[in-house]
Structure 1
Amino acid sequence: MRIWRLNELGDPAEQLRLVDEEAPSPGPGAVLIDVEAVGLAFPDVLQCRGQYQVKTGPGHTPGGESCGRIAALGDDVTGLEIGQRVAFLGSGGLAEQVTHPAAGVFPVPDGVSAETAAAIPINYCTTLYALRDRAHLQAGESVLITGAAGGTGTAAIQLAKAMGARTIAIAGGDTKVELVRELGADVVIDHRETPDWVDAVREASGGGVDVAYDPVGGDTFHQVRRCMGWDSRLLVIGFVAGIPEVKTNHALLKSYSIVGVHWGASLAKYPDSLGEQMRELLEMAAAGTVAPPLYPPYAFEDAATALQDLADRKTHGKVVVTL
């Protein structure tokens, strides 16, 4: 069985190795899965570099969201069948076969591809939690989305639209701008053409947005905070461009909330939430309500390149590796 392993902490292209190992066997309460597709996200890059909240080291296998078919059942597993396609969350997905607790796999409805199922867990669960549980987004409200052509950004456009909100998307370059338009964003602003886009957002939102969804951070965060409306909610999703220093006096003057979104930690607080989110989102995918836009899939042998391209911001939509 082939599996990707981290040699030393560093950039994926330099430190990931494809090696042969003995295939695993499912223990009691677990299943063996033939992996078909693996979704990659920026935290995978950070884990390779040793810069993520969850520390890793040599021997680590990236790939936190996967889809495949059950190849074998461990003892005491019920309700699942060999050959059934399932999606699951957990590091180590970049391998030809993996074992996983049966309680943590979610059947994929007919008509939903392995690539689509692998693109859902992190980006769409994070976004559903952010918009519904943290922002309490209401129909008719406006949502500003930075990094709108990325994995979380595209999820935010689709889920905000499904919740009846009006979306204002920030993306850079013709390809990314066209992508977010195709996803149905109501207003699209190209930050390469309009580097100072605050006035454009204010005009589009009638003076300020109700919710901001910011996975970028850095200097972008300071543009976002200037777009906030009265009693609005600024969602802190991530820091692709660095961790900004927050000017709390500005939040006081405009009476908006800066809301942290740590979806991963929420799963420990609310253990049943992952299953509820995954079932809801897979049903939405089967109905066509959400459809993750996929960057052209990478072959399994090119997984290190896929992660490096993600790190270098050469991709858009969701990056998926297929087997």
Structure 2
Amino acid sequence: MRIWRLQELGDPAERLELVEEDPPVAGPGEVLIDVEAVGLAFPDVLQCRGEYQVRTGPGFTPGGESCGTVAALGDDVTGVEIGCRVVFLGSGGLAEQVTHPAAEVFAVPDGVSATTAAAIPINYCTTLYALRDRAGLHEGETLLVTGAAGGTGTAAIQLAQATGARTIAIAGGSTKVDLLHDLGADVVIDHNDQPDWVDAVREASGGGVDVAYDPVGGDTFHQVRRCMGWDGRLLVIGFVAGIPEVKTNHALLKSYSIVGVHWGASLGRFPESLGEQMGTLLSMAAEGTVDPPLYPPYAFEDAATALQDLADRTTHGKVVVTL
């Protein structure tokens, strides 16, 4: 069986190696899965570099979202059948076969492809938690999305549209801008052409946005906070461009909230929420309401390149590896 292993901490293209190992065997309560598609995200890159809050080291296998077909059942497994296509969360997906607790896999509805299913868990669950549970976004409100052509950004556009909210999307370059127009974003701003886009957002939102979804951080965060409307909610999703220092006096003057979104930690406190979120999102995928835009999928043999391209921010949409 082939599996990607991290040889030492560093950039994926330099430190990941495709190796041969004995296939895993499903233990009690587990299923053996033939992997068909693996979703990749920026935390995979950080884990390869040793820069994520969950520490890793040599032997680590990236890939936290996977879809495949159940090939074998361990003892005491109920509710899952051989031949069932399932999607699941958990590092180590970049392998031809994996084992996983049967209680933590989710059946993929008919008509939903393996690549679509593998693109949903992290980006869409994070975004559903952010917009619904943390921000309380509702119909008629305006949502600002930075890094809008990325995996989480496109998820935010689609879920906001399903809520009936208006969307303002920030991205860089004609390819990403075209993608966002195709997704139906109400306003799209190319930050390459308009690096100081605060006034444009204020004008498009009638003075300020109700909710901002910021996975970028860094200097972008400071532009975002200047776009906030009265009683707005600024969602802190991530820090691709670095961790900004927050000027709390500005939040006081405009009476907006800065809201942390740590979806992974929320699962530790409310583990039952994952099943509800996945059920909701897979049903939306079956209906066509959720349809993750995919960067052209990478072959399994090119997984290290896929992660490096993600690190270098040359991709758009969701990055998926297929087997």
- Give 4+ residue runs of structure 1 displaced > 2 Å after superposition: none
Question: TM-score of the superposition, structure 1-length normalised?
Answer: 1.00
Structure 2 equivalent of residue 225 of structure 1: 225
For 2:48 and 2:278, how far apart are their aligned partners in 1? 26
Structure 1 equivalent of residue 264 of structure 2: 264
Q: Secondary structure, in 3 states, of the residue corresponding to 1:159?
A: helix
Q: Secondary structure, in 3 states, of the residue corresponding to 2:189?
A: strand
> Amino acid of the residue matched to residue 215 of structure 2?
P
1:181-215 deviation per Cα after TM superposition (whole angstroms, max 9, x unaligned): 11110010010111000000000000000000000
For 2:271 and 2:305, how far apart are their aligned partners in 1? 34
Instruction: Report how far residue 278 of structure 1 moved.
Output: 0.5
For 1:112 and 1:75, how far apart are their aligned partners in 2? 29
Instruction: Report how far residue 302 of structure 1 moved.
Output: 0.3
1:93-119 deviation per Cα after TM superposition (whole angstroms, max 9, x unaligned): 000000000010000000000000000
Structure 1 equivalent of residue 96 of structure 2: 96
For 1:75 and 1:276, how far apart are their aligned partners in 2? 26
Q: Secondary structure, in 3 states, of the residue corresponding to 2:69?
A: strand
> Amino acid of the residue matched to residue 236 of structure 1?
V
> Amino acid of the residue matched to residue 233 of structure 2?
R
For 1:106 and 1:206, how far apart are their aligned partners in 2? 42
Q: Secondary structure, in 3 states, of the residue corresponding to 1:232?
A: strand
1:27-58 deviation per Cα after TM superposition (whole angstroms, max 9, x unaligned): 11100000000000000000000000111000
Say yes or no: does 1:13 pair with 2:32. no
For 2:143 and 2:162, how far apart are their aligned partners in 1? 12
> Amino acid of the residue matched to residue 286 of structure 1?
A
Instruction: Report how far residue 79 of structure 1 moved.
Output: 1.2
Structure 1 equivalent of residue 168 of structure 2: 168
For 1:181 and 1:258, how far apart are their aligned partners in 2? 28
For 1:270 and 1:40, how far apart are their aligned partners in 2? 24
Structure 2 equivalent of residue 274 of structure 1: 274
Say yes or no: does 1:22 pair with 2:31. no
Q: Secondary structure, in 3 states, of the residue corresponding to 1:87?
A: strand
Structure 2 equivalent of residue 77 of structure 1: 77
For 2:181 and 2:265, how far apart are their aligned partners in 1? 32
Structure 2 equivalent of residue 311 of structure 1: 311
Structure 2 equivalent of residue 253 of structure 1: 253
Map 1:1-323; keep pairs closer than 5 Å: 1-323=1-323
For 2:276 and 2:227, how far apart are their aligned partners in 1? 33
Instruction: Report how far residue 138 of structure 1 moved.
Output: 1.1
For 1:291 and 1:29, how far apart are their aligned partners in 2? 32
> Amino acid of the residue matched to residue 137 of structure 1?
L
Q: Secondary structure, in 3 states, of the residue corresponding to 1:188?
A: strand
Identify which range, 73-82 or 305-314, moves more after superposition: 73-82
CA-based RMSD of the aligned residues comes to 0.4
1:200-239 deviation per Cα after TM superposition (whole angstroms, max 9, x unaligned): 0000000000000000000000000000000100000000
Instruction: Report how far residue 66 of structure 1 moved.
Output: 0.3
For 1:242 and 1:227, how far apart are their aligned partners in 2? 19
Q: How many residues align?
A: 323
> Amino acid of the residue matched to residue 182 of structure 1?
D
1:224-282 deviation per Cα after TM superposition (whole angstroms, max 9, x unaligned): 00000001000000000000000011001101000000000000110100011001101
Instruction: Report how far residue 318 of structure 1 moved.
Output: 0.2
Q: Secondary structure, in 3 states, of the residue corresponding to 1:143?
A: strand
For 1:273 and 1:183, how far apart are their aligned partners in 2? 28
For 1:192 and 1:213, how far apart are their aligned partners in 2? 19
Q: Secondary structure, in 3 states, of the residue corresponding to 1:192?
A: coil
Q: Secondary structure, in 3 states, of the residue corresponding to 2:143?
A: strand
For 1:285 and 1:205, how far apart are their aligned partners in 2? 29
Instruction: Report how far residue 25 of structure 1 moved.
Output: 0.5
For 1:243 and 1:58, how far apart are their aligned partners in 2? 27
Gaps of 5+ in 2: none
Question: TM-score of the superposition, structure 2-length normalised?
Answer: 1.00
Q: Secondary structure, in 3 states, of the residue corresponding to 2:67?
A: strand
